[in-house]
């Protein structure tokens, strides 16, 4: 993880796992065992994390990291299609507090962290052309003779009820079932109007698909010093 990623909270949090590990603000230290690990560790590489704890004086911090659309450049695909920047709202924030419950004996530490990530990705699809959605599949063949495909590399559609070819590969609207007509209402028109919509042709539909990931949680720790050499602690987590 680079220093910039660590300071911004991006790379580090994503590597240790937002869901299963304490946030960076709740960590006191971490250690990586990658070679010659003791037999108590079953994995080849192990990361050991130590959370912060309370002390005889109160201590805490608050932070916020923000990244949004106005700070980002447009993507290559969206630029090529003349589309604006996709919306992006990335907000990491939190606060923690530690201190004594009973001085020199019992201590607490509590950390609250939030991660709000609203981002968009660009969908690049090859959809049936507007003509195809209306039953016109004439693009499947380059040339026709007597309304029948005469191109050896083209495709001719046939009426399944009669076995006869559809003239110019055009299916009458009366033969499009009501179920298909209902589903077609939910199929968007291609954003590239000149596209033929043929299989394996280039994408003809580009749009923004929103993605959202929100996580808020509270981590807590309680320490009790039994003697100068012995202590007890308990760690808990709650998602809110």
Task: Find the mean pLDDT for residues 44-59.
Answer: 87
What is the per-residue pLDDT across 179-222, written as a single tens digit (0 to 9) for each?
Answer: 999 999 999 889 888 888 888 888 899 888 888 888 888 999 99
d(CA 233, CA 240): 23
For residue 63, give both structure tokens. Answer: 């932070």
Q: Could you count the other beta carbons within 10 Å of the beta carbon of residue 110?
A: 19
Position 166 scores a pLDDT of 97
Say if residue 11's pLDDT is above 80: no
Task: Find the mean pLDDT for residues 43-54.
Answer: 82
Which tops the pLDDT comparison, 125 or 35?
125
Whole-structure pTM value: 0.56
Say if residue 107's pLDDT is above 80: yes
Share of the chain above pLDDT 70, in %: 90
Find how far residue 62's CA is from the centre of its chain.
27
Q: Are 55 and 98 in contact (CB under 8 A)?
A: yes
Percent helix, strand and coil across the chain, each to the nearest 5: 20, 40, 40
Residue 99's pLDDT band (boundaries 50, 70, 90)?
very high
Q: Which of 155, 159, 161, 150 is nearest to 137 (CA)?
A: 155
Q: Which of 183, 185, 186, 189 is nearest to 205 (CA)?
A: 189
Position 43 scores a pLDDT of 67
**How high does pLDDT run on average in the chain?**
84
What is the per-residue pLDDT across 19-28, written as a single tens digit (0 to 9) for each?
Answer: 556 778 888 8
Say if residue 5's pLDDT is above 50: no
Position 20 scores a pLDDT of 58
Q: Could you count the other beta carbons within 10 Å of the beta carbon of residue 231?
A: 13
Say if residue 9's pLDDT is above 60: no
139 three-class SS: helix
Residue 167's pLDDT band (boundaries 50, 70, 90)?
very high
Residue 45's pLDDT band (boundaries 50, 70, 90)?
confident
């Amino acid at each position: 993880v680079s220093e910039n990623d660590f300071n911004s909270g991006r790379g580090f949090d994503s590597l240790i796992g937002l869901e299963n590990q304490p946030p960076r603000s709740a960590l006191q230290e971490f250690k990586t065992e990658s070679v010659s690990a003791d037999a108590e560790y079953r994995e080849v590489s192990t990361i050991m994390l130590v959370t912060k704890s309370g002390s005889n004086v109160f201590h805490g911090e608050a932070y916020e990291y923000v990244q949004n659309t106005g700070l980002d450049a447009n993507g290559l695909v969206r630029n090529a299609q003349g589309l604006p920047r996709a919306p992006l709202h990335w907000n990491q924030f939190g606060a923690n507090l530690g201190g004594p419950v009973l001085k020199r004996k019992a201590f607490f530490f509590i950390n609250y962290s939030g991660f709000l990530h609203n981002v968009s990705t660009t969908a690049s699809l090859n959809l049936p052309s507007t003509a195809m959605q209306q039953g016109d599949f004439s693009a499947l063949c380059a040339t026709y003779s007597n309304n029948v495909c005469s191109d050896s590399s083209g495709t001719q559609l046939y009426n399944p009820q009669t076995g006869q070819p559809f003239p110019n590969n055009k299916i009458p609207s009366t033969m499009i079932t009501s179920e298909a007509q209902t589903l077609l209402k939910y199929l968007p028109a291609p954003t590239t109007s000149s596209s033929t919509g043929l299989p394996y042709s280039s994408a003809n539909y580009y749009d923004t698909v929103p993605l959202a990931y929100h996580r808020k949680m509270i981590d807590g720790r309680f320490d009790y010093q039994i003697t100068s050499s012995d202590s007890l602690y308990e760690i808990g987590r709650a998602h809110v």
